[in-house]
Amino acid sequence: MDDADTPICPLCLRPIPASAPQSLHHLIPKLRGGKGGPLILVHQICHNEIHATLSEADLARNFNTPDALRAHPRLAAFFAWVAKRPPDFQSKTPGGRRAWKRR
């Protein structure tokens, strides 16, 4: 696969080389009616951050497009940070899943 065929993550806008951890993200979660709906190919680290930040209800209602996900303040900061890393960069997602909701 040459550079022209390498997919681009629609969130962090980095290339997704075949060697990079990656996954498909349902723009509308399957449990919220998105089975068979639109999917986007993203880096695994970007996917992890989406689900660490937003509930499935929030994803279905308000964050069901790449533009909406990039506009979320926490995700925007994360995508800007990770965009400075190599395309195959991988790290554990800090904090628990949606830790801010446990207050």
Q: Is residue 19 part of a domain?
A: yes
Domain of 9 in residue numbering reads as: 3-86
Summarize the confidence of residues 93-99 as an average pLDDT. Answer: 53
- Give the helix ranges, DSSP H, for 16-72: 44-53, 56-61, 66-71
Cα end-to-end span (Å), the chain: 47
State pTM to two decimals: 0.84
pLDDT at 92: 72
Q: Is residue 101 part of a domain?
A: no
Q: What is the DSSP letter of 26?
A: E
- Token pair of 2, please? 């040459």
Task: For residue range 17-68, list pLDDT tens digits in order.
Answer: 999 999 999 999 988 887 888 999 999 999 999 999 999 999 999 999 999 9
Domain count along the chain: 1
